[in-house]
Amino acid sequence: MVVVVSKMALSLTTGTTSADQITGTYQFVPKGIVKVYALGSATGLTMSVLNNGMSLMNAQAVPFFGTTGTLKKLDNNVFEQAVNPGRLELYFQNPTGGTLTVDFIVEHIATK
């Protein structure tokens, strides 16, 4: 298992979509399982996960919110899915009327 990316307090202003959050060393992964844990600062944030350009989760709500820095893997598992070898992408959207933040972790477990 590797941590593909993790961030605390990614800030999104009203009506914006983040840049792709998965870049660098682990942007391209082998066949496996991807897990996303996320905690928004308030209700309203959505997220999209793509594998080789194919949407696995498209603008779905981040169902958990709380204080920045309190993300727990046991409590905040938002997404778990088998993926093909190739590129992973993760975007957050803020369709609300205010600035929101999100803490998140993306993990990948290689399978045969």
pLDDT per residue as tens digits for the range 42-99 = 999 999 999 999 999 999 999 999 999 999 999 999 999 999 999 999 999 999 999 9
Distance, in Å, from the CA atom of 70 to the CA atom of 15, rounded to the nearest integer, reads 25
Superfamily of domain 2-110 in the CATH hierarchy = Galactose-binding domain-like (2.60.120.260)
Q: Model pTM?
A: 0.94
- Cα 92 to Cα 26, 84, 110: the distances in Å are 19, 22, 25
- Cα 97 to Cα 14, 15, 44, 79, 100: the distances in Å are 5, 7, 9, 25, 9
